A and B are shown apart, each in its own frame.
Chain A
């Protein structure tokens, strides 16, 4: 069965600090997809990134970067030079090869203080 663990319940940082959100997953499939979503106070889940299990290249998008390591079943998310607008709950999610059923972690609350 698939499982996603986000061990950090809540993180507080001061603006301009870098912060890394951890995500560890379990799956028996060899083909799977990993996602990160952001949930601001408004409640909508905003899609950030998708990664497939065969692509271990790290990705950078502006201040966001993602580190996918199959050897440790981790897909960590780093925000560089954090801003107050980054304050939100961040979810890591996994879907296996068939069905597009997303299994979410419990989420990490990120608070960025000015």
Chain B
């Protein structure tokens, strides 16, 4: 089965610019997650969708970050305006359902560098 697809693979922007990332989960997976992984740290959950509804966005900096999953399949994560501290790898993951026993399957990530 095809894995989680993410694009772009790399992105370099200047601070205060905007950027968007795209994710296509594994077919049939109802739950989609966006994580931020800062260099040298473990991934941190930003937002979790169940179909097209938000389950958890408690750690999403809502003043600059937004995400949507309009048709319950693909998702986009946007940052506007970007800050230097947003430099990180943004990982998308999906799971069959939102149950805690479900393993999450990750994409390759988008490496974002802010100049």
Contact = CB atoms under 8 A, between A and B. Distances in A.
Interface of A: 4, 31-33, 35, 37, 42-47, 50, 52, 91, 93, 95-107
A103 to B, nearest CB: 8
A52 B111 CA distance: 32
B52 interface: no
B101 A33 contact: yes
A45 B100 contact: no
B107 A50 contact: no
Interface string B33-52: 10000001111110010000
19 contacts: A4-B42, A31-B100, A33-B101, A37-B106, A43-B108, A43-B109, A44-B3, A44-B106, A45-B43, A47-B104, A47-B105, A99-B48, A100-B95, A100-B100, A100-B104, A101-B45, A101-B56, A103-B45, A107-B40
A79 to B, nearest CB: 19
Most buried by B among A4, A42, A101, A105: A101
Contact of A99 (B44, B98, B106): B98
A46 B75 CA distance: 21
Interface in B76-113: 89, 91, 93, 95, 98-109, 111
Question: Is the interface on chain B under 10, 10 to 19, 20 to 34, or 35 or more residues?
Answer: 20 to 34
Nearest to A97: B100
Interface of B: 3, 31, 33, 40-45, 48, 55-56, 89, 91, 93, 95, 98-109, 111
Contact of B44 (A31, A52, A100, A104): A104
B101 A50 contact: yes
Given A99-B48, A100-B95, A101-B48, A47 B42 contact: no
A65 to B, nearest CB: 19
A48 to B, nearest CB: 9
Given A104-B42, A104-B44, A106-B42, A98 B109 contact: no
Contacts of B33: 102
Contacts of B95: 100
